């Protein structure tokens, strides 16, 4: 191979890598999002490898609005109401739930063995790639919530528990490998 031929191949590689960057960043974002969701939802572990603090067992105030209909019907009712301690807040009569948020989750058959920030999955379903094609082509991918309600939940959990959408070292290494494989494929496609 002559130097002009090699120079042409390098020019092609540089151009094709630039063209591939946008798709590569979307792929990176998809993998990162999957890894984060799987790790947190299935294991309740943060990016540093620690379990998130358990759900609160501090007594809390509840009404039917904080429960589904069947749980509300079994918790409240003429006979059950006599068992509860009550507080009136802003004109609303609320029962005290010993066992706190953890107990509320148990009553709804939600996981309590780990903290996975998942009640309805609305927040997790809303978190996705939020960056645009221009940002991808510049080598940036942004993951976050879209809806204001879910942004507020994510911000609350992040303030309370740390950066939820952070990657651990193994996940970061996997993303580096994905980028390297894409780059190597471009180089191979150009005969180098």
Pair (93, 178) in one structural domain: no
The pair of three-digit structure tokens given for residue 13, joined into one six-digit string: 């590689």
- pLDDT the model gives residue 181: 83
- pLDDT the model gives residue 21: 86
What parts of the chain have a pLDDT lower than 50? none
Region of 77 on the Ramachandran plot (φ > 0 left; ψ -120 to 50 alpha; else beta): left
Pair (76, 161) in one structural domain: no
Pair (150, 80) in one structural domain: no
To the nearest whole number, what is the mean pLDDT of the chain? 92
Indicate the SS3 state at residue 70: helix
Pair (106, 129) in one structural domain: no
Domain that includes residue 96, residue range: 53-113
Q: Which of 68, 83, 113 is the last residue of a domain?
A: 113
Say if pTM beats, i.e. exceeds, 0.75. Answer: yes
The pair of three-digit structure tokens given for residue 73, joined into one six-digit string: 């019907």
- State how far the Cα of 54 lies from the Cα of 99, in Å rounded to an integer: 12
- pLDDT the model gives residue 13: 80
Q: Which of 113, 141, 160 is the last residue of a domain?
A: 113
């Amino acid at each position: 191979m002559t130097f002009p031929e090699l120079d042409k191949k390098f020019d092609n590689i540089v151009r094709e890598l630039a063209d591939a960057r946008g798709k590569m960043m979307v792929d990176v974002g998809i993998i990162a999002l999957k890894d984060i969701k799987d790790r947190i939802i299935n294991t309740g572990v943060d990016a540093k490898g620690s379990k998130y603090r358990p759900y609160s067992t501090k007594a809390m105030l509840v009404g039917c609005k904080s429960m589904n209909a069947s749980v509300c019907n079994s918790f409240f009712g003429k006979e059950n109401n006599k068992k509860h301690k009550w507080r009136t807040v802003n004109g609303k009569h609320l029962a005290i739930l010993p066992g706190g948020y953890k107990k509320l989750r148990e009553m709804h058959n939600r996981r309590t063995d780990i903290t996975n920030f998942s009640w309805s999955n609305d927040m997790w379903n809303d978190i996705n790639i939020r960056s645009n094609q221009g940002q991808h082509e510049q080598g940036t991918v942004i993951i976050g919530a879209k809806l204001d309600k879910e942004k507020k939940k994510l911000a609350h959990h992040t303030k309370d528990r740390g950066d939820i959408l952070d990657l651990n070292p193994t996940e970061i290494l996997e993303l580096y490998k994905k980028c390297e494989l894409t780059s190597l494929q471009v180089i191979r496609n150009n005969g180098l």
